[in-house]
Amino acid sequence: MKEYKTMRVDPSEEVDTIEALAVFGWKLEESKEIYNESDEIVGVNVDTKVKTYGDGFIGGFMAGWNGDEGKVQQQVTYETRKNVTHYVSMRFSRETSSKNYVRLKELELEYYQGAGCKSYFPIPRKPVALTVIASIALAIIIISLCTLFVGAQAEIWEIVVCVVVPVVFIPLLIVFWMRYSKKNKIAVEENRKISEYNAEREQAFAKRTQEIVDECVRLNEENDK
């Protein structure tokens, strides 16, 4: 009895895919290259022009005769995009009744599970927006304070704003930047640990994959006897 597997790969990966699956007992039964091109309209541009009759007696007569100012001309152009579909469709089969089928299937599953690397921590964003807003607000306050030195009289609301804004924004900026600094430090340290862990996992997995390939080669040789 046979089991089947179908795959679509890039033409440049065809040979590598056949060799990789052959390690686990898969044999190529059919291979077909698919190539299609199609044009898709992605935009339309309409250019409208009015062709006038000209000035003078003839132009006036023609405009009056036709009841318009001239002849409208439209030129329509289409912007197209070419879509290309290019892949190789392959069909593989493997004997389920072979002596080492179960072990080959287990090794194939382990091989394609990967090294089991961890994902990296996201780096926190700097509070740039708040810093810009605070900087603009403080700049306006400084300009307003400078006007007091040239004899301008401050309104009550201006005094309140000049006091409240610094009192609110400056502590807020300090808190946000301290939080960012703390989170960034934690993320950098965690990513360093993850990088070391992933490097060890990849090294161990590279060694293990070679062991898997060697064992599969031996099992396939036993099946062929």
Number of domains in the chain: 2
Q: What is the pLDDT of residues 105-125, one digit of tens each?
A: 999 999 998 888 899 989 988
Q: What is the pLDDT of residue 223?
A: 84
Of 125, 129, 130, residue with least CA distance to 187: 125
Say whether pLDDT at 101 is over 90: yes
Residue 112 lies in a domain: no
pLDDT > 70 in the chain, percent: 77
Question: Same domain for 93 and 135?
Answer: no
In-domain check, residue 36: yes
Please indicate, yes or no, whether residues 132 and 219 belong to a single structural domain of this protein. Answer: yes
Both 220 and 138 in one domain: the answer is yes
Residue at a domain's end among 97, 119, 141: 97
Q: Do 76 and 141 have their domain in common?
A: no
81 with 22, same domain?
yes
Task: Give a yes or no: residue 122 inside a domain.
Answer: no
User: Residues 72, 27: one domain?
Assistant: yes
Of the pLDDT bands very low, low, confident and very high (cuts 50, 70, 90), residue 53 is very low
91: in domain: yes
- Residue 33 falls inside a structural domain: yes
Q: Which residue has the tokens 């898997």?
A: 212
Clarify whether residues 136 and 57 are in a common domain: no
Question: What is the arithmetic mean of pLDDT over 81-100?
Answer: 91
Looking at mean pLDDT, say which of 37-51, 55-69, 104-118 comes out highest.
104-118
Supply the pLDDT for residue 40: 77
Q: Is 136 within the bounds of a domain? A: yes
Which pLDDT score is estimated for 94?
Answer: 93
pLDDT exceeding 90 applies to what percent of the chain?
A: 45
DSSP state at residue 155: P
Q: What share of the chain is helix, strand, coil (3-state, %, to 5)?
A: 55, 25, 20
**Does a structural domain hold residue 32?**
yes
Does one domain contain both 89 and 146?
A: no
| End-of-domain residue from the set 97, 115, 138 | 97
In terms of Cβ atoms closer than 10 Å to its own Cβ (0-12, 13-18, 19+), residue 28 is middle
Domain stops at, among 45, 76, 97: 97
User: What are the residues whose beta carbons fall under 8 Å from the beta carbon of 188, sequence distance 6 or more?
Assistant: 123
- Residue 157 placed within a domain: yes
List Cβ neighbours of 50 (8 Å cut-off, separation of 6 or more).
69, 70, 71, 72, 73
The pTM score is 0.58
* Statement to judge: residues 78 and 152 lie in one domain: no
Per-residue confidence (pLDDT) for residue 154, from 0 to 100: 57
pLDDT surpasses 80 at 38:
yes
Residue-range definition of the domain harbouring residue 19: 2-97
Same domain, 37 and 90: yes
